[in-house]
Amino acid sequence: MENTFTHALPNKSGYFGEYGGSYIPEQLQAIMQEITDAYDEAILDSTYLSELADLYSGYVGRPSPIFYAKRLSQKYGRGIYLKREDLNHTGAHKINHCLGEALLAKRMGKKKIIAETGAGQHGVALATAAALLGLECDIYMGEVDIAKEYPNVIRMKILGARVIPASHGRKTLKEAVDAAFEAYLKDPVTQLYAIGSVVGPHPFPRMVRDFQTVIGNEAREQMAELTGQLPDHIVACVGGGSNAIGIFSAFLNDIKVELHGVEPAGRSLTEPGEHAATMAKGKPGVMHGFKSYMLQTEDGEPQDVYSVASGLDYPSVGPQHSYLKDIERVNYDTISDEEAIEAFFEISRLEGIIPAIESAHAIAYALKSKRLRGNILINLSGRGDKDIDFVVENYGEKYGIE
């Protein structure tokens, strides 16, 4: 397999402009260097690359197709194309980087991969990769989330992972990250911490980005085949930012292709704690070992965040997105809960595709934004099976479901 993992950024210290880097204790610094070295070696090794390519095709089902959404296109007067990451094994794009990270862990002689999870999507994808590759897997999860996301907790356990409750503070994602970091510091030799998006200290924003670039590389060829040209616009939702950077990366140098990242405006963009629109409302700060736009309180602590899509409610964002915002290569905008749910039903009923509520944010923007015309490629990051109970309970009546 050809090595396509070469990008100009980040620099050697993990910076995209002023963002990224590695703001962590001395002890972890050495471990991160070890991971960086192992990764640099792996991507020059055709055995590693072809093993990953074989898993993408035989196990994940790649390449994921691009589907022309005819009825949506007709209704909204624009060409809507969907990159179908929802068709991947486990139902979303996260499996792309989990397999890359798990293969790297094996190569480094690690016995166990560990991670935090919020809604459980990263936990399930990582537990899947661990089962496949014969690694142990510990997933740290807030007690509140464990109660809320029961089906994913069960999936992880069926797959053989241990789900370890984080029971301090607000008992959600941030506390899960704390617990996972603590466990990692205790034993960085036999374990590898597999971060779930393009966030965290260097080299994770780079590494996770590289693994997700498969989306954009495929899409570039597929769009050329389907339409004879590149798309006019590409739209993706942004939580940590991995699916978005995965599709954007292959088009960054195509200046004519407009790129749009969509953050969640939640219930209200003007009230702190009621949204997770990091780049719209945040300012540069450091958390979880890296510098980026960040939603923060007056004393610089991470702000509480909220979105109807639990995969999008993170108070920071991948550092490369902060950079791309500042240099104005990508347009970042927001979509509210209500708009996302409306798009969720629209694509379900016009195309027979139930999307993840996260992905519905990208769909809503592609359908609604007045600045979009021509051919629009949406990264459909995941399927909505995980969301149907919640949607029916909270929005069923409005959309005619008894």
Q: Verify whether residue 271 is a known catalytic residue.
A: no
172 touching ligand PLP, by CB under 6 A = no
| Cα 130 to Cα 38: distance, rounded to the nearest angstrom | 19
Q: Given the rule CB under 6 A, which of 10-18, 179-187, 299-307, 353-361 is the region that contacts ligand PLP?
A: 353-361
CA atoms within 13 A on the CB side of 383: 10
Instruction: Indicate which single residue of 21, 123, 203, 311 sits in contact with ligand PLP (rule: CB under 6 A).
Output: 311
Size of the site for ligand PLP (CB under 6 A): 19
Whole-number minimum distance, CB 44 to ligand PLP, in Å? 26
- The catalytic residue among 51, 85, 101, 116 is 116
Instruction: Indicate which single residue of 94, 220, 233, 260 sits in contact with ligand PLP (rule: CB under 6 A).
Output: 94
Q: Verify whether residue 381 is a known catalytic residue.
A: yes
Phi and psi at residue 349, to the nearest 5°:
-90, -20
Between 100 and 382, CB nearer to ligand PLP:
382
359 touching ligand PLP, by CB under 6 A = yes
Q: Which of residues 249-278 bind ligand PLP (CB under 6 A)?
A: none
Residues in contact with ligand PLP, shown as a per-residue x/- string from 113 to 142 under the rule CB under 6 A? --------x---------------------
Whole-number minimum distance, CB 190 to ligand PLP, in Å? 27
Q: Verify whether residue 18 is a known catalytic residue.
A: no
CA atoms within 13 A on the CB side of 364: 24
242 touching ligand PLP, by CB under 6 A = yes
389 Cβ contact partners less than 8 Å away, ≥ 6 residues apart: none
Kindly list the catalytic residues. 94, 116, 381
Which residues here bind ligand PLP, judged by CB under 6 A? 92, 94, 121, 197, 237-244, 311-312, 356, 358-359, 381-382
